[in-house]
Copies of this chain bind each other. A is one copy, B any other.
Amino acid sequence: MEFRIEIDEKSGVPYYRQIMEQVKFAMARGHLQPGDRLPTVRQLAVDLAINPNTVIRAYRQMEIEGVLETQQGSGTYVGRHQPKIDRLEKQRMLDQILTDLLARASAYGYSVEEVLEGLRQRKEES
């Protein structure tokens, strides 16, 4: 399963929200299918180096929303009701990421063009 969560500590976005967003995006992309088992609370907490309560908060919130189903003693699973992530929301998230990127870059004197060029080189290398 190509499903990995990463926490950006510098983004200012609460950890539990980052977890929720990435799980939902993975579901929308099909990387997480209904019935799939999510990482355990404890394991994900260790992987992300955060407190288990923070993972619980993200999972529980998504269960309330109906996108996840938890079975105490067994695990947390992807529910049948897929979250709706429309084009607008995807665009908004990309905008947010790009704004954050450009803000950091400009703090070091980079222009949009320079960032663009740097990214092109990255792409070529891979």
CB distance from A113 to the nearest CB of B (A): 7
* B29, A103: Cβ atoms closer than 8 Å: no
Q: Are A108 and B90 in contact (CB under 8 A)?
A: yes
CA A13 to CA B119, docked complex, whole Å:
21
Query: B106 touching A27 by the CB < 8 A rule?
Result: yes
B-side contacts of A99, CB under 8 Å: 21-22, 25
Known: A103-B20, A118-B98. A112 touches B123 (CB 8 A): yes
Interface size class of A (residues with CB under 8 A): 35 or more
Instruction: State whether the Cβ of A47 lies closer than 8 Å to any Cβ in chain B.
Output: no
Interface residues of A (CB under 8 A from B): 4-6, 8, 10-14, 17, 20-22, 24-31, 65, 67, 82-83, 85, 90, 92-116, 118-120, 122-123, 126
